[in-house]
């Protein structure tokens, strides 16, 4: 069963060298497990999605330029994600702030081709029999 994503969830990008912390800003004012809960519209770079350390894909223009300057030796550059679309698919049966809630099976993509996944929702759900 998917978990609701909240502030301080952990994200990874296949082209990023480090995980990133997800930030849910307080304007939603919906809490889950004492943390602000996210919806699929929380996808803004450097507001919700923080950098992933160093980027290693040549499709990133900064990496391509640095690699060319290093005579073809792959030269990672700071991973500043460029995300243009909401998370998908989201939890269609739960709306937060008028948009589907963000769950930990949702994904997004960076303009440079990286797939961004939620590796920890920021909270743990326990099922009691």
Residue 86 lies in a domain: yes
* Residues 82 and 43 sit within 8 Å (Cβ to Cβ): no
- Taking the CA atoms of residue 33, residue 36, residue 42 and residue 45 in that order, the dihedral angle to the nearest 10 degrees is -110
| The Cα angle at residue 13 between residues 11 and 16, in degrees rounded to 5 | 115
Q: Which two tokens stand for residue 59?
A: 């499709």
Lowest model confidence (mean pLDDT) among 3-17, 59-73, 113-127: 113-127
Residue 129 lies in a domain: no
Residue 126 lies in a domain: no
Residue 3 lies in a domain: no
State residue 125's pLDDT score: 62
State residue 33's pLDDT score: 74
Tally of domains within the chain: 1
Rounded distance, CA 39 to CA 49, Å?
A: 13
Residue 15 lies in a domain: yes
Q: Look up the domain containing 72 and give its range.
A: 10-120
pLDDT at 26 over 90: no
User: CA nearest 55: which of 14, 8, 115?
Assistant: 14
Residue 89 lies in a domain: yes
């Amino acid at each position: 069963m998917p978990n609701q994503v909240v502030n301080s969830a952990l994200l990874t990008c296949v082209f990023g060298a480090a995980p990133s912390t997800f930030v849910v800003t307080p304007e939603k004012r919906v809490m889950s497990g004492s943390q602000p809960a996210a919806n699929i519209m929380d996808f803004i770079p450097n507001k919700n999605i923080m950098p992933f350390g160093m980027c290693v894909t040549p499709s990133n223009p900064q990496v391509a330029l640095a690699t060319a300057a290093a005579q073809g030796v792959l030269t990672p550059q700071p991973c500043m994600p460029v995300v243009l679309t909401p998370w998908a698919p989201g939890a269609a049966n739960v709306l937060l702030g008028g948009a589907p809630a963000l769950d930990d099976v949702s994904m997004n993509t960076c303009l440079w081709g990286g797939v961004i996944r939620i590796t920890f929702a920021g909270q743990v759900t326990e099922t009691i029999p």
